[in-house]
Structure 1
Amino acid sequence: MATSTKTRQRKQNGHAASLTATKQTITKSPKPSAPKATEGRLWNKLLGILIAVIVLLYAPISATYFLVGPQIGHVGDKYYYKPLISWNFAYGNGSGHPGYPGSNYEALKRNASAMMPHSVLGTVAIVLGLIQFLPVFQFRYPAIHRNLGRLYGLCAMVISWSSASFLRDTIPKKDVFSGDVFALILSLLSFGNLVTMGLAVAMAWSGDIGSHREFMALNYSLMLSAPLLRVAWLILGITWGETKYIINLYSSYFAGPFLLTAPMFYLRRHYKRQANKTLMNIKLHLGITAASAASLVYVIPLMAKPEMWAYRRTEYFWFTIPQFVFQAVAFTWLAAASMQRGDDKANTAWRTYQNGLISAPIFAAPMYHFLRYVYNCPDEMMGLGVTVGAWTTGLVTSFVIYVLATSKFVNKPAAGKGLK
């Protein structure tokens, strides 16, 4: 009897020890999600380093542009473009320097009082953005983050005011470097900067930090248009061999849609927002498609003339088609994939972005008349202008609609009702 009792005690003790060892093993085992988090952090660091390098290389150019004056060669021409590309690209015909057709030096000189704060505060804004998007900085030092955000917002307001002042003077005189299409892109950029900054501030005041982050990501992406253009100048100046005047135009043509879609992919990789049944509705999708088709019926006869596409047509297609096809395929595939797996939150985003791309022809008609009667754009550049204007307007409209429709205030009554 005593032997049987001792045997049971030994078995119980052994079982308890086995459970303790198992618990210790489970406690010490690594979390399965750790590799994914590490991988995400690695890509974030690489992206952050890339943006920081571009910004820090560009900052001396923009900060000193009006301090040294383009007539003697600013930092970019002296240290980047002349040694890496050629003297002609930096200072010759088509460079923007005085003494050549198409030079915008006199326009810059005439608007120096507006453009000097534009270049200096633009530099401050893009450098501040590097700090403001650091998660550690946001959560550990919220008071400093808010104060620097106010400074960034002030810079954004001055940038929009100064660019509007410059364009109001130069567009009627045809003094914008790279012509009317670049003037249109600058106008859309200035307006987009103002609108996204205003929406970001409104969301912060209302306490919707997620929506604030969305609009600030787009705003900072637009701010990065200037340094991205300079990178494109280097790459295309070396490989293409065209003048700065031409390369600047086509670089901006590529950069506009790219800078609008980049934050879409970045934000959807890292953050999920509310689903919205209206934005996912197939009837809305079909309605936008039908409206775009009807708009094409009106626009195509206006744009069908060969002279509308006469401005360096080969380069136009080379710069445009690959990016447009990528966006169309990516948005369609991601929308279909999210719908198939029942992810309503992701489907809301990608379906809205897809609708924005499809809606481009809807904006083509007003863009045509805007270029024709406000900018007095020549026929040969109408094809470029209408296309990029409608394309970018559709993308940014979809971005704004998505964020507003999925904000916690607009979507709160429907949150959690049949949506995954």
Structure 2
Amino acid sequence: MSTTKLLAQVAESPPTPLHGQNGKKSVAKKQNEGTGAINDRILLGSLALLVLWYAPMSFTYFLSEMPSSVGDKMLHALVSREFAYGNGSGHPDDYGPGQYFVLLRNITSMLPHTISGTVAIITGLLQFNKTFQFKYPIVHRSLGRVYGLCALIISASSASFLIDTIPTREVFSGESFAMILSMLSLGVLMTMALAVYAVWNGDVGSHREFMMLNYSLMLSAPFLRLCWVVLGRLWGETKWTVNLYSAVFAGPFLVAAPIFYLRRRQSRPVNETLTSSRLRLIIAASSLLSLAFLGPKLSSFDQWSHRPKADFWFTVPQWGFHAISFTLLAQAAKRRGDMRAYTAWATYQNGLISGPFFAVPTYYLCRHVFLCPEGIMGLCTFFGGWLMGLFSSHIVYVTATSTFAKGHKHSLKGE
């Protein structure tokens, strides 16, 4: 066995405090493993249902006379005709040209986008099954290359679409949704590049961390449609509005979900820099200065006036859950002396604390690049800072605890 493979095994299966010094597993550990296996099956089954429900809508999006005809019929059946075809749906019926003509104008980029997206989310279901990974490693690597190619096509086609539609303000659900799509496209490309770099250097554990986040971002499309159905029935708003607030909720949710999943199943090395009080102080000071800078610029109620109640309910409860969870988990890890877990949760805490710092560039992007309306500037700035802080904290944590530059032999066969 090569040194690269030995190091890869260490990276993907580091020891945890639960194993004890003699390597024997406790009864509690065995019970947790049994419960974890059941939870994994439930999660995989739920994801499979979501993907198989969405895949026909995605794959046939541009393969019929009118784009999204399968999806529209699905929304008509599950929500209402008004939601699927009426005002605010993007449908061309009696309300002007609609969103479909914008999509048809960009069909050369959007057709490969939808087909590649369908292939990626189906392939991903197999890629994250550990039994499949170890039983069929050659197939796993081959499908990984297909998945990576799909990710590149998705990011490139998204960029092409946004370059065409942002200047003309033709993105469905408006300028704020254009910002969210741009962040998503960059996130998919960045995590894919980091995942390839990690496995190229033999760090399989970091590769899995990046790929898990990448796949979670890929699932934004089916998750968004699920939100359409739920909110379309419960809220009674148009698809235009439901789509925007579904994305506002989905962004942080899909970044945090793999964080919670991975930290319950994978332990990574300690990094004292990430847990240092000096780093926390620098981040907090930077955020306080950023708040002082942004305060006067976002002090008017008009900048938070788009839908104040919706703005609150789709952001504050979830942000509060993240803040409380990260704090409690960090404190619990520190009390039991588990510095590996403490390193993780303290880093995610820093990510939330850094939100105002990231909100500053978000503010200027919203105002000068995406040309967001004044009434939604507050929501966009808060959302962008929160999402970038959370995303960056995971990237920093995995990178800082990785074995990227340890002189490994470059290979794509680390798995």
In 2, are the aligned partners of 1:89 and 1:237 still within 8 Å (CA)?
Answer: yes
Q: CA deviation at 1:409?
A: 4.0
Which residue of the partner structure matches residue 42 of structure 1?
Answer: 38
Q: Which deviates further from its counterpart, 121-130 or 287-296? A: 287-296
Distance 2:289 2:235 in 1: 38
In 1, are the aligned partners of 2:176 and 2:370 still within 8 Å (CA)?
Answer: no
C-alpha offsets along residues 2-33 of structure 1, whole Å, 9 cap, x if unaligned? xxxxxxxxxxxxxxxxxxxxxxxxxxxx9834
Question: Please, which of 95, 99, 102 is the counterpart of residue 107 of structure 1?
Answer: 102
Q: After the TM superposition, which residues 257-406 of structure 1 pair with which residues of structure 2 at under 5 Å, given as runs? A: 257-406=252-401
Q: CA deviation at 1:103?
A: 2.7
Please give the root-mean-square deviation of Cα atoms over the aligned residues, in Å.
1.5
Q: CA deviation at 1:102?
A: 8.6
1:139 aligns with 2:146: no
Which residue of the partner structure matches residue 255 of structure 1?
Answer: 250
1:280 counterpart SS class:
coil
C-alpha offsets along residues 320-365 of structure 1, whole Å, 9 cap, x if unaligned? 1110000000001111111111111001100001100110000111
In 1, are the aligned partners of 2:201 and 2:405 still within 8 Å (CA)?
Answer: no
1:207 aligns with 2:202: yes
Q: CA deviation at 1:406?
A: 0.1
Letter paired with 1:157: L
C-alpha offsets along residues 145-202 of structure 1, whole Å, 9 cap, x if unaligned? 0010000000000000000000000001010000011000000000000000000001
2:295 counterpart SS class:
helix
Q: CA deviation at 1:305?
A: 1.2
In 1, are the aligned partners of 2:303 and 2:376 still within 8 Å (CA)?
Answer: yes
2:376 counterpart SS class:
helix
Q: After the TM superposition, which residues 59-138 of structure 1 pair with which residues of structure 2 at under 5 Å, given as runs? A: 59-70=55-66, 74-78=69-73, 80-98=74-92, 99-100=94-95, 103-138=98-133
Q: Which deviates further from its counterpart, 164-173 or 80-89? A: 80-89
- Whichever structure has more helix as a proportion of its residues is 1
Gaps of 5+ in 2: 1-24, 408-415
TM (normalized to structure 2)?
Answer: 0.89
Q: CA deviation at 1:39?
A: 1.0
Distance 1:375 1:77 in 2: 28
Distance 2:32 2:359 in 1: 43
TM (normalized to structure 1)?
Answer: 0.88
Aligned length: 381
Q: CA deviation at 1:74?
A: 1.4
Gaps of 5+ in 1: 1-29, 413-420
C-alpha offsets along residues 82-141 of structure 1, whole Å, 9 cap, x if unaligned? 122110001111111114269322210110000000001100000000000010110111
1:67 counterpart SS class:
coil
Distance change >3 Å, CA 102–CA 275, structure 1 → 2: farther
C-alpha offsets along residues 267-302 of structure 1, whole Å, 9 cap, x if unaligned? 000000001000010111122111101100000110
Distance 1:409 1:116 in 2: 36
2:98 counterpart SS class:
coil
Distance change >3 Å, CA 70–CA 248, structure 1 → 2: farther
Distance change >3 Å, CA 180–CA 69, structure 1 → 2: farther
Q: CA deviation at 1:410?
A: 5.8
- Higher relative contact order by CA 8 Å / sep ≥ 6: 1 or 2? 2
Distance change >3 Å, CA 367–CA 42, structure 1 → 2: same
1:329 counterpart SS class:
helix
Distance 2:168 2:341 in 1: 47
Letter paired with 2:83: F
In 2, are the aligned partners of 1:103 and 1:177 still within 8 Å (CA)?
Answer: no
1:153 aligns with 2:152: no
Bigger-Rg structure (1/2): 1
